[in-house]
Amino acid sequence: MDRAAVFDVDGTLADTNHLHVVCWWEAFRQAGHHVAMDHIHRSVGLAGQDLVEHVLGDERDTAQDEAIKAAHKALYGTYSDRLPAFDQAGDLLRALAGDGWTVVLASSAGGSELAALRRAVDADDAISAIAGADDVAEGKPAPDPVEHALELAGVPADRAVFVGDTVWDMQAASRAGVRCVALLCGGIPRTALEAAGAAAVFDDPADLLARIGTGPFAELLEPSGP
* pLDDT tens sequence across 76-103: 999 999 999 999 999 999 999 999 999 9
The three state secondary structure string of 12-25 is: CCECCHHHHHHHHH
Cross-strand partners of 104:
6, 129
Average of per-residue pLDDT values in the chain: 95
CATH assignment of the domain containing 201: 3.40.50.1000
Cross-strand partners of 7:
105, 163
Look at residue 226 in the predicted model and tell me its pLDDT: 39
- Among the candidates 28, 44, 77, a domain finishes at 77
Look at residue 76 in the predicted model and tell me its pLDDT: 97
- Among the candidates 77, 98, 128, a domain finishes at 77
34 and 99 together in one domain: no
Would you say residue 225 lies in a domain?
A: no
- Among the candidates 58, 77, 96, a domain finishes at 77
26 and 105 together in one domain: no
pLDDT at 148 over 70: yes
The mean pLDDT of 182-206, rounded to a whole number, is 98
Phi, psi of 134 (to 5 degrees): -80, -5
Look at residue 90 in the predicted model and tell me its pLDDT: 98
72 and 94 together in one domain: no
Q: What is the pTM of this model?
A: 0.95
- 176 vs 220 pLDDT, higher one: 176
98 and 56 together in one domain: no
What is the number of domains present in the chain?
2
